[in-house]
Structures are given as structure tokens and as C-alpha cells.
Chains A and B, each alone.
Chain A
Amino acid sequence: MTCDAPTPAGGPAPAVWRSRGTGRRSTRTLRVRVCAALAAATVLAVLLVPPLVQLDQQAVDLAAKLLPPSWEHPFGTDDVGRDLLLRCVYGLRVSLLVGVAAALTATVVGTAVGAAAGALGGWADRAIMRVVDTVSSVPHLLLGIFIVAMFRPGVWPVVVSVALTHWLSTARIVRAEVMSLRARPYIDAAVSGGASRWRVTVRHLLPGVLPQAGLAAVLMVPHAMWHESALSFLGLGLPAHTASLGTLIQTARGSLLAGQWWPTLFPGLFIIVPTLAIAGLAGAWRERINPRRRSELML
């Protein structure tokens, strides 16, 4: 806590902690609003632009190839004359779909495994967590490449690949939470009241871990988008004709060396901006569900 400068004579002395707390809160509120606006713009763009605009993102116009940004093409055109703004929105659509689907799948798997380990305890817990440790010991991008290479390129192999390599952290978080909740007397009361192991888990333990699992899912969406982009960039994710942010950057890297910056910059921004927006919202959520942070917010 720092001391403020002396206040003008006659004015009420402000409470130092309150003024500072209010300032931090307003900065936080502004940050949350900006993040929410960016996230909303992203979601609206991917949902509304394709059905409303009725333009063909695959329309090739070799006469207009590699045009820099202009009023007609705000993001410029790529090496075969396709409008990059439209391609970026379609690419974001695919990347967001992969991100959300992979994050949801990973969270469901991770929550189920973590809850089973935490609720069962004993040898079952030890066995499950050794499996988790074993899978964690393999670099997850490598494992993801291995999984995706077994299938024909497409959206769902990428979703499966990202989900199967990202449920581990959720499983660990959920297990720790379940073990902490299991020690509470209300679980003893439920056992004494005749509740089965399943009922204790579903009725008392899982609702207690849902905020943490939800937060893990939200934080995983941008991470999964990055993985999709990385796999597509390596040529292992989506087929080249499907616009995703990874394939856009991958096909544009040749023109970057020739000085055309726009085919890589804008898809890159389309990865970074939703990532920051989602991470900002998740950070605000974490502050709300963490009691220690919440007590600071109440200042």
C-alpha cells in the first residue's frame, strides 16, 4: 500500500486503500469489457458473416493476386487473388470450431478421469494417475502429430488429436479439487445418510469442481486453436483447400519472403486477438471463483 499525495485543503481525505482498490477495479472492468467485446465480435463474425455476405471465399481471381490492403480488399488478397478478409473469417470459423470442440471433449474426458481418481482413491487413484503421468511424459505436440497422422486430413482428426493430448491437466485439477472436497464433513454426512459412491460423486463432488473445470475448458479453447494452427502449418491438420488460420499462414509464408506481409499478418492477428480476449475473460472468471482474489475485489 502506498501513500497518496496530500489532498487539497478542505477536501475530504480519501481512504487510500479504497481509492487504489477502486482504480484497480475500474481497470479490471475496462479490461473485461474490452475482452468481452472482442470475443463477441469474433463469435458474431464467424456466425454471421458467411451466411450474410454470400461471397465465395474460394473465388480465384488471378488478375487480383497479392493486392495490398485497400478499400475493396481490406486485408488484401492472397497469391491466387482470394479476398483475405473473407478467408480469415472462414479460417477463424474452422479454428474456433476445432478449439471449442477439442476443449469440450478434453474437459469432459479430464473431468471424468479426475473425478474417478479423486472419488475412488486408493489403488484406483494411483493407477489412473500413473496413466496420466505416462501420457504427460510424451511431448504433446509429438503425440498430437502421431494421432493426426493416422487419419485422413480433416477437422475431426485434429479435434481428436488435440482433445486426447489435453485432458491431462484438467484431470489433475479435478482430482485435486475432488480430493479436497472429499475431506469435508458434508461428504461424511452423505456417506452416513446412505448415499452411494456414485451419488456422492455426482451430487456433491462434481458440482463443486465445475467452476474449475469450466475455467480449464475456456482457457483451453485458445490453446487448442494454436494447436490446430500448428498442425495445419505443418501440413498435418486440415487439407490445404480448407481455410483455417494455420493453412492461411502456411500457404502465405512464401510471399512473406517476397515482401508481401499482409497474407501472414492478418491470419496471425486472427489467432492472437481471440486468444487474448478469451484469456482476459478467463482471468476475470478465475478472480471471481478464487476466494482470495475475490476478497481483494471487494476492496
Chain B
Amino acid sequence: MLELRAITAGYVKNAPVVRNVSLTIAPGEAVGLLGPSGCGKSTLARVAALLHRPDSGTLVLDGRPVRRWRHRAPRELRTAFGVVFQQPRLSADPRLALRDLVAEPLRATGRREGLAERVAELASAVGLTPDLLGRRPHEVSDGQLQRACLARALVLRPRWLVCDEMTAMLDASTTAALVAVVEEYRAATGAGLLAVGHDRTLLDRWCDRTVHWETLPARARPAEDGQPAPERVPAG
């Protein structure tokens, strides 16, 4: 069970982007989070994936409250989440070939045994041909790169998947292919899913339930004082 309780989070002191929001995802459940641009849903997804420390609120993972985020979180907790971001160009290290990109989490966690087989297996699952694996991010299309990013998110067999507008920049066929890969993985492992997006049709068809940002227990109000939401800056 992944529980976000009364989360308040932001990037600038005293100007939270997300205010007092709660969301619960049951094991194996697929929840779609729908909302307009800039409302704070990506920030909530980052909090859920332990990438951004909230200003207040509690994240409870399988009954245990999480107290540390990013590098301070234990590695096995961090790797319980597979994250796919909206922009594949920015979420891929430009120096790594796609093969290394997919294998990077395995190397980072010291699981080098059977590395090549696991990468080949995932590449075939997401539809990347062997010649594409040798290319660098600038030598492939957005869709191909997002396939590699999805493979990277799945390589450690996470229990939770966080897809932050994963298909926003992709055409319909690539979207369908990526969603099919995620669903295949979930069917095989029973992983839970938080899919963030603003395409109601897609989320309704993909997820068990779709939550609209406006209907969350207490919604974020980033622009209530007439100021735009602040730029994203790295979390500490």
C-alpha cells in the first residue's frame, strides 16, 4: 500500500505547489492522476517516488512511514519505484548509449550478473532492436528514447511504477506500445502504478481508477495569489 497523507510540497520556502493532498494506491492498483499543467501533480509524483522531500505530510509505504528522501532514503526503498519522466531527452544521460542507459541501475546496485541478458530481454520487451542499443540518445527518436527510459525503469523489477506524463510527447502507436509494456509488466509482477497525465481518455482506459486533481481531498492552489507556480529546482 502506498499512502500519501496530507502532503504539502514545493520548491520555494512558504510557497508550496502541493497543499495538503492525500492519495492512496493499493498494491497492484493502477491509479491515474489527472490535472491541468502546473497544478502540482508531477511534484506529487516526485514525492511518491521518494525524489522530493515534502514540507509536511506523511508517506506510508507498506504500513511503514518513510522518513528520508533521495540519497538519504535506503537504496532498497528507492529502487522499489520505477520512474518514467515526461521528456525522454532530459531524462537520459546524453553520454550513455541506450544499452548502458538501461543497464545503469543494475550497475549502480552492483547486480552485474546476467546484465547483458536482462538488458536484451527488456529491449525486446519494449521494442528496441539491438542496433538501437548501441546508439546514444541524440541518435534516436523521442519514442525510441522513451522506450529505453521505460526499460530502465523496469530493469530493477520495481514494486511501484510512477509514470509522469510518460506518453505526452509521443504519437498514438508508441503510446499504445508503451502502455502495453507497462500493463504486461504489471500483470506479471503485480506492481502498483501511478500514472500522471492530462489525457482523460488514455487514463480512463489504462487505469483502474482515475482521480482528478480537483477532487483530491485538499487540492493544490499554486496560483491562488495570482502568481505563477515557481520554477522547478532540485530537491536537497
Binding site for B on A (CB under 8 A): 121-122, 179, 182-197, 199-200, 203-204, 207-208
Contacts and interface: CB of A to CB of B under 8 A. Distances in A.
- Interface residue tally of chain B, by bracket? 20 to 34
Given A183-B234, A186-B92, A191 B85 contact: no
A191 B105 CA distance: 9
Given A189-B85, A193-B152, A195-B104, A204 B93 contact: yes
B82 A182 contact: no
Nearest to A205: B93
Contact of A194 (B49, B75, B149): B75
Contacts of B152: 189, 193
A188 B155 CA distance: 16
A192 B149 contact: no
Given A184-B90, A192-B78, A204-B93, A121 B236 contact: yes
B48 to A, nearest CB: 11
B156 interface: yes
A179 B51 CA distance: 16
Contact of A189 (B70, B83, B232): B83
A182 B90 contact: no
Given A122-B236, A197-B71, A192 B93 contact: no
A185 B91 contact: yes
B90 A192 contact: no
A186 B71 CA distance: 14
Contact of B71 (A189, A191, A193, A204): A191
Given A121-B236, A183-B234, A204-B93, A196 B82 contact: no
Interface-central residue, A121, A179, A185, A200, by most chain B CB under 10 Å: A185
Interface string B87-109: 10011110100000000110011
Contacts of B79: 192-194
Given A192-B50, A192-B51, A121 B78 contact: no
Given A182-B234, A183-B232, A188-B85, A193 B91 contact: no
28 contacts: A183-B234, A185-B91, A186-B91, A187-B234, A188-B46, A188-B51, A188-B85, A189-B83, A189-B92, A189-B153, A191-B71, A192-B51, A192-B79, A192-B81, A192-B82, A192-B83, A192-B153, A193-B152, A194-B78, A194-B79, A195-B104, A196-B75, A196-B108, A200-B71, A203-B93, A203-B108, A204-B93, A207-B95
Main secondary structure of the interface of A (DSSP, over half): helix
Nearest to B105: A193
Nearest to A119: B71
Contacts of B70: 191
A23 B51 CA distance: 50
**Lowest 9 A-B CB distances belong to which pairs?**
A193-B105, A185-B91, A195-B108, A194-B109, A194-B79, A183-B234, A185-B85, A192-B83, A185-B90
B109 A189 contact: no
Interface in B154-199: 155-156
A191 B70 CA distance: 6
Nearest to B93: A186
Contacts of B90: 184-186
B113 to A, nearest CB: 16
Given A185-B87, A189-B85, A194 B156 contact: yes
A192 B156 CA distance: 10
B151 to A, nearest CB: 12
A265 B62 CA distance: 78
Contacts of B49: 192
A193 B108 contact: yes
Given A121-B234, A186-B92, A196 B51 contact: no
Nearest to B164: A185
Contacts of A184: 90-91
Nearest to A200: B71
A3 B124 CA distance: 56
Nearest to A199: B108
Contacts of B75: 194, 196
Contacts of A194: 75, 78-79, 105, 108-109, 156
Given A183-B232, A195-B104, 16 more contacts: A122-B236, A183-B233, A184-B90, A185-B87, A187-B234, A188-B83, A189-B85, A189-B91, A189-B92, A189-B153, A191-B71, A193-B109, A194-B75, A195-B105, A203-B93, A203-B108
B118 to A, nearest CB: 13
Interface string B49-71: 11100000000000000000011
B104 A190 contact: yes
